[in-house]
Structure 1
Amino acid sequence: MSGPDSTADVRTLVVDDEQEVADAYALRLRDYCDVETSYSGEAALSVVDSSPVDIVLLDRHMPGMSGDDVLSELVERDYYGRVVMVTAVDPGIEVLDMPFDDYLCKPVEREDIRAVIDQQRQILAYETLGKYFRAEAKRAVLDTELSGADPEQAGYGEIRERATRLERRTRRLLTDETVLDQFDAVSREEL
């Protein structure tokens, strides 16, 4: 990480059918986070399927597959990240049932879009940290209990792989790793 509030490693996808708008938001995020653009809902889903994306900035009103449709599809695909609607569509009562994480009305200033990326990074980092702690605690207990046994029994390989994957993502998103050090310092073995 490059600093106490670093978002440089956050992978952000800007989705807007108006190429100039998507590119303008991406330009505002350049040198702030790892940013990619998509100009349609279908292209956005392809990016999410092919590479890890932490935060999606999603326009609601797009031809073909709307932002609302993309949001529903992300839920169907168990997308593990944060979704921020960035749109000119005035929110109505229907937003109560929509599973987005934040809603910004266009136009969005550079400072505001960067602030929302940082807020969503922090939320995702701590959500991932909790999942990592659960997986790593199980792995550590199994390490102790299964010593000498087949490490692939009872899903041990899966939990080990999940813990490793979650740890990498947590370290990439979390700016203060002391909480990881404190977790590692706790003895989970029999004395």
Structure 2
Amino acid sequence: MAENDSAAAVRTLVVDDEQEVADAYALRLQGYCDVETVYTGSAALSAIDDSPVDVVLLDRHMPGLSGDEVLSELVERGYYGRVVMVTAVDPGVKVLDMPFDDYLCKPVEREDIRAVIDQQRRILASETLGEYFTAEARRAVLESELSSEEHSEHERYTDVAERAERLENRARRLLADDEILDQFDAVDRKEM
């Protein structure tokens, strides 16, 4: 069991072409979060396509697809998660234009890598919560405007309802305390 129950639910992908390094980071995270390890940039993109990943720990310098290229591809694909560069490459001023969420220089200690995962979990949970509140409020408004029969026939209602459900599930998985979701649900948004 993880030291932090909400961190245990974080789906983390470690990406590093040095197998020993990737496996060492995965070992440091074992029992703390749900961790998967891959050793190439293309394997990272496949893993993210195959299942939802909350946090990517990404090496910058890899043969084939570099971490920088993987990061660019994630942005193009609209990846919804957090990316932490974990690398021995000197950051340089180029990092000012890179869309990562945190940057760690190797080697990274066990406590630091776990702290970063928890920080990124909290940020992602907060972002997801905000998006859920927006989607759920829209769903509730549409629900009050449409009859029960119209719900299943109305494409936008179906889309927003499905999005709200996905976001709620992810927020509940990532939040340490989901009381705020229950409070949101308790507000009556329907016409009398």
Q: TM-score range by the shorter chain?
A: over 0.9
Q: For the Cα contact (< 8 Å) 2:56–2:84, is it kept in 1?
A: yes
* Counterparts of residues 107-122 of structure 1 (less than 5 Å): 107-122=107-122
1:97 aligns with 2:97: yes
User: Alpha-carbon deviations, 1:131-176, whole Å to 9, x = none?
Assistant: 0000000111111110245113251111111011111000000111
Counterparts of 1:4 and 1:55 in 2: how far apart (Å)? Answer: 16
Tell me the residue number matched to 1:188: 189
Counterparts of 2:135 and 2:2 in 1: how far apart (Å)? Answer: 27
Counterparts of 1:3 and 1:168 in 2: how far apart (Å)? Answer: 22
Q: Which has the higher helix share?
A: 2
Q: For the Cα contact (< 8 Å) 1:3–1:175, is it kept in 2?
A: no
Tell me the residue number matched to 2:59: 59
**1:150 aligns to what SS in structure 2?**
helix
Q: For the Cα contact (< 8 Å) 2:11–2:55, is it kept in 1?
A: yes
1:127 aligns with 2:127: yes
* Gapped regions of structure 2 (runs ≥ 5): none
Counterparts of 2:4 and 2:16 in 1: how far apart (Å)? Answer: 31
User: Alpha-carbon deviations, 1:92-114, whole Å to 9, x = none?
Assistant: 10000000000000000000000
Query: How many pairs are equivalent?
Result: 191
* Counterparts of residues 31-180 of structure 1 (less than 5 Å): 31-151=31-151, 152-180=153-181
**Cα 1:183–1:2 shift into 2, 3 Å:** farther
Q: For the Cα contact (< 8 Å) 2:2–2:31, is it kept in 1?
A: no
**2:7 aligns to what SS in structure 1?**
coil
Counterparts of 1:148 and 1:113 in 2: how far apart (Å)? Answer: 48
How much has 1:5 moved relative to structure 2?
5.8
How much has 1:189 moved relative to structure 2?
1.1
Q: For the Cα contact (< 8 Å) 2:4–2:32, is it kept in 1?
A: no
How much has 1:74 moved relative to structure 2?
0.3
User: Alpha-carbon deviations, 1:37-77, whole Å to 9, x = none?
Assistant: 01000000000001110000000000111000000000011
Deviation >3 Å, runs of 4+: 1-5
**1:7 aligns to what SS in structure 2?**
helix
Report the RMSD for the aligned CA atoms in angstroms. Answer: 1.5
Tell me the residue number matched to 1:13: 13
Counterparts of 1:23 and 1:148 in 2: how far apart (Å)? Answer: 52
How much has 1:6 moved relative to structure 2?
2.7
Judge which range, 147-156 or 67-76, deviates more. 147-156
**Cα 1:63–1:113 shift into 2, 3 Å:** same
TM-score (norm 1): 0.96
TM-score (norm 2): 0.96
